[in-house]
Structure 1
Amino acid sequence: MKQGDEAGSVPAYFLSNHEGFLGSIKNFTEDFVVSEIDSNGQNVRTAQALQRPGCAFSEEDNVELKENAHYSVPQDTDGSSEWGPDTPLPSLGSFDLDVILGQSVSEDLEQFVLTLREKKQVGLELSLGFFSDKHQRANVHRAVRHRFPFLMTVTIQPEIRVREDPDYRELARLVKEDEAEDFFRFIDAKVRGSSYTFGPDDNKEHRTAVHHFLNRRFGKLVETKSFSNQGMTAISVRLRDHGKPKKRTAEERKEEDLYTAFTLCKENLETLEAISYMAAALGVLPSDFTYAGTKDKRAITFQSMVVKKVSPQRLKEKAAEFEKRGMRLSRIRSVGEPLKLGRLQGNHFDLVVRNLRPHGPVDEHGSGADVHARLAELVEEAVENVKRRGFVNYYGPQRFGSGQSVPSDRVGLALLKENMVSAVHLFFTPDDGDDPQNLAKKHFLQTDNAKEALAMMPLSKPRERLMLRALNRYGGGPDGCVQAWLSLPHSMRVFYPHAYCSRVWNEAVAHRLSTMGHCVRQGDLVWAQTGQNQTEDTGGTSSRIHVVTYEDEQAGVYTLGQVLLPMPGNTVKYPENAMGTWYQEQLARDGLSDCRFRVNSLKLNVPGCYRPLLAAPRNFSYRLQRAAMEGGGGAAGEMKQSSDSPYLTLNLDLDSSCYATICLREIMKCDP
Structure 2
Amino acid sequence: MERNTLSCFISNHVGFHGTIKNSPQDFVVIEIDTNGQLVNSVNTKEERPCQATKRIDMKLIPSKPDDTDSLIQDCFDLNLILGPSVNRELEHFTNKLKVKPCSDDQEKVELLLGTFPDKHMRAVVHRAVRFNFPFLQTLTNQSEIRVREDPDFQELAGLASEGEAEDFFRFIDAKTPGSVFTFLPDDSKEHRTSVHHFVSRRFGKLVETKSFVDQQKTCITARLRERGKQAKKRTMTDFHMQEESLYTAFTLRKENLETLEAISYMAAVLGVLPSDFTYAGIKDKRAITYQAMVVKKISPERLLEKGSEFERRGMQISHVRPAFEALKLGRLQGNHFELVIRDLKHHGKHGLAELPQLIEEAVENVKNKGFVNYYGPQRFGSGSCVQADQVGLALLKENMEASVKLFFTPEDDDDLQNKAKRHFLHTGNAKESLALMPAYKARERLMLRALHRYGSGQEGCTRGWLSLPHSMRVFYLHSYCSRVWNQAAKYRLQNLGFKPVQGDLVWAESVKGLKDATEELSAPQIHVVTSDEEKNEVFSLDQVILPMPGNSVKYPENLLGQWYQDRLAQDGLECCRFRVTPLKLNVPGCYRPLLAKPLNITYSLQTSSSDESNTHCLSLNFDLEASCYATVCLGEIMKTNLS
Q: TM-score, normalised by structure 1?
A: 0.63
In the aligned structure 2, how far is the partner of 1:643 from the partner of 1:575?
A: 53
1:22, distance to aligned residue in structure 2 (A): 1.7
Q: In structure 1, what is the equivalent of residue 264 of structure 2?
A: 276
Q: In structure 2, what is the equivalent of residue 348 of structure 1?
A: 336
Q: For 1:95-137, what per-residue CA distance to the aligned partner results, in whole angstroms no more than 9, with x for missing partners? A: xxxxxxxxxxxxxxxxxxxxxxxxxxxxxxxxxxxxxxxxxxx
Q: In structure 1, what is the equivalent of residue 30 of structure 2?
A: 35
In the aligned structure 1, how far is the partner of 2:269 from the partner of 2:544?
A: 46
- Given candidates 378, 386, 393, the residue that maps to 2:358 is 378
Matches within 5 A, 1:654-669: 654-669=624-639
Q: For 1:217-272, what per-residue CA distance to the aligned partner results, in whole angstroms no more than 9, with x for missing partners? A: xxxxxxxxxxxxxxxxxxxxxxxxx9xxxxxxx99994676433222212122222
Equivalent residue of 1:264, what SS? strand
Sort the Cα spacing of 1:534 and 1:629 in 2 relative to 1 into closer, same or farther, 3 A: farther
Equivalent residue of 2:32, what SS? strand
1:610, distance to aligned residue in structure 2 (A): 0.2
2:390 paired with 1:410: yes
Equivalent residue of 1:585, what SS? helix
1:9, distance to aligned residue in structure 2 (A): 4.8
In the aligned structure 1, how far is the partner of 2:315 from the partner of 2:413?
A: 28
Q: In structure 2, what is the equivalent of residue 334 of structure 1?
A: 322
CA contact (8 A) 1:535 1:656 kept: no
Q: In structure 2, what is the equivalent of residue 267 of structure 1?
A: 255
The code of the aligned residue for 1:353 comes to I
2:505 paired with 1:525: yes
In the aligned structure 2, how far is the partner of 1:574 from the partner of 1:487?
A: 34
CA contact (8 A) 2:264 2:443 kept: no
Matches within 5 A, 1:15-414: 15-46=10-41, 254=242, 258-360=246-348, 371-414=351-394
Q: For 1:362-389, what per-residue CA distance to the aligned partner results, in whole angstroms no more than 9, with x for missing partners? A: 9xxxxxxxx4313223322222221121
In the aligned structure 2, how far is the partner of 1:431 from the partner of 1:10?
A: 22
Q: In structure 1, what is the equivalent of residue 614 of structure 2?
A: 644
The code of the aligned residue for 1:15 comes to I
CA contact (8 A) 2:4 2:641 kept: no
Sort the Cα spacing of 1:453 and 1:315 in 2 relative to 1 into closer, same or farther, 3 A: closer
What percent of counterpart residues are identical?
A: 63
Equivalent residue of 2:614, what SS? coil
Q: For 1:470-491, what per-residue CA distance to the aligned partner results, in whole angstroms no more than 9, with x for missing partners? A: 2222211111111122222111
The code of the aligned residue for 1:502 comes to S
1:7, distance to aligned residue in structure 2 (A): 8.3
Equivalent residue of 2:333, what SS? strand
Q: How many residues align?
A: 450
In the aligned structure 2, how far is the partner of 1:28 from the partner of 1:518?
A: 36
| Bigger Rg, structure 1 or 2 | 2
Q: For 1:433-475, what per-residue CA distance to the aligned partner results, in whole angstroms no more than 9, with x for missing partners? A: 3333333222222222222222222334322222222222221
The code of the aligned residue for 1:578 comes to L
1:310, distance to aligned residue in structure 2 (A): 3.1
In the aligned structure 2, how far is the partner of 1:552 from the partner of 1:252?
A: 53
In the aligned structure 2, how far is the partner of 1:458 from the partner of 1:659?
A: 31
In the aligned structure 2, how far is the partner of 1:442 from the partner of 1:617?
A: 42
In the aligned structure 1, how far is the partner of 2:417 from the partner of 2:348?
A: 38
Matches within 5 A, 1:426-575: 426-528=406-508, 529-532=510-513, 534=515, 537-575=518-556
Equivalent residue of 1:353, what SS? strand
The code of the aligned residue for 2:389 comes to D
CA contact (8 A) 1:10 1:503 kept: no
Sort the Cα spacing of 1:419 and 1:671 in 2 relative to 1 into closer, same or farther, 3 A: same
1:361, distance to aligned residue in structure 2 (A): 8.4
1:537, distance to aligned residue in structure 2 (A): 4.5
1:28, distance to aligned residue in structure 2 (A): 1.3
Q: In structure 2, what is the equivalent of residue 594 of structure 1?
A: 575
1:532, distance to aligned residue in structure 2 (A): 3.2
Equivalent residue of 2:513, what SS? coil
In the aligned structure 1, how far is the partner of 2:453 from the partner of 2:312?
A: 33
Q: For 1:171-223, what per-residue CA distance to the aligned partner results, in whole angstroms no more than 9, with x for missing partners? A: xxxxxxxxxxxxxxxxxxxxxxxxxxxxxxxxxxxxxxxxxxxxxxxxxxxxx
In the aligned structure 2, how far is the partner of 1:263 from the partner of 1:548?
A: 44
Q: For 1:399-445, what per-residue CA distance to the aligned partner results, in whole angstroms no more than 9, with x for missing partners? A: 11244211211111111111111111122222223333333222222
Sort the Cα spacing of 1:434 and 1:445 in 2 relative to 1 into closer, same or farther, 3 A: same
Equivalent residue of 2:560, what SS? helix
The code of the aligned residue for 2:332 comes to L
Q: In structure 1, what is the equivalent of residue 87 of structure 2?
A: none
Sort the Cα spacing of 1:503 and 1:355 in 2 relative to 1 into closer, same or farther, 3 A: same
Q: Which moved more, 1:319-328 or 1:392-401?
A: 319-328
Sort the Cα spacing of 1:478 and 1:526 in 2 relative to 1 into closer, same or farther, 3 A: same
Gaps of at least 5 residues in structure 2 are 45-229, 231-237
2:408 paired with 1:420: no
In the aligned structure 2, how far is the partner of 1:457 from the partner of 1:275?
A: 16
CA contact (8 A) 2:244 2:324 kept: no
In the aligned structure 2, how far is the partner of 1:541 from the partner of 1:32?
A: 36
1:274, distance to aligned residue in structure 2 (A): 2.4
Q: For 1:52-111, what per-residue CA distance to the aligned partner results, in whole angstroms no more than 9, with x for missing partners? A: xxxxxxxxxxxxxxxxxxxxxxxxxxxxxxxxxxxxxxxxxxxxxxxxxxxxxxxxxxxx
Equivalent residue of 2:15, what SS? coil
The code of the aligned residue for 2:337 comes to F
Q: For 1:16-65, what per-residue CA distance to the aligned partner results, in whole angstroms no more than 9, with x for missing partners? A: 2322222211111110101111111111222599xxxxxxxxxxxxxxxx
CA contact (8 A) 2:245 2:322 kept: no
In the aligned structure 2, how far is the partner of 1:426 from the partner of 1:281?
A: 27
Q: In structure 2, what is the equivalent of residue 619 of structure 1?
A: 600
Q: Which moved more, 1:409-418 or 1:15-24?
A: 15-24
CA contact (8 A) 1:467 1:488 kept: yes
In the aligned structure 2, how far is the partner of 1:572 from the partner of 1:427?
A: 28
Q: In structure 2, what is the equivalent of residue 120 of structure 1?
A: none
Q: Which moved more, 1:279-288 or 1:396-405?
A: 279-288
Structure with the bigger percentage of helix: 2
Sort the Cα spacing of 1:314 and 1:401 in 2 relative to 1 into closer, same or farther, 3 A: closer
Equivalent residue of 1:515, what SS? helix
Equivalent residue of 2:336, what SS? strand
In the aligned structure 1, how far is the partner of 2:371 from the partner of 2:283?
A: 21
CA contact (8 A) 1:536 1:657 kept: no
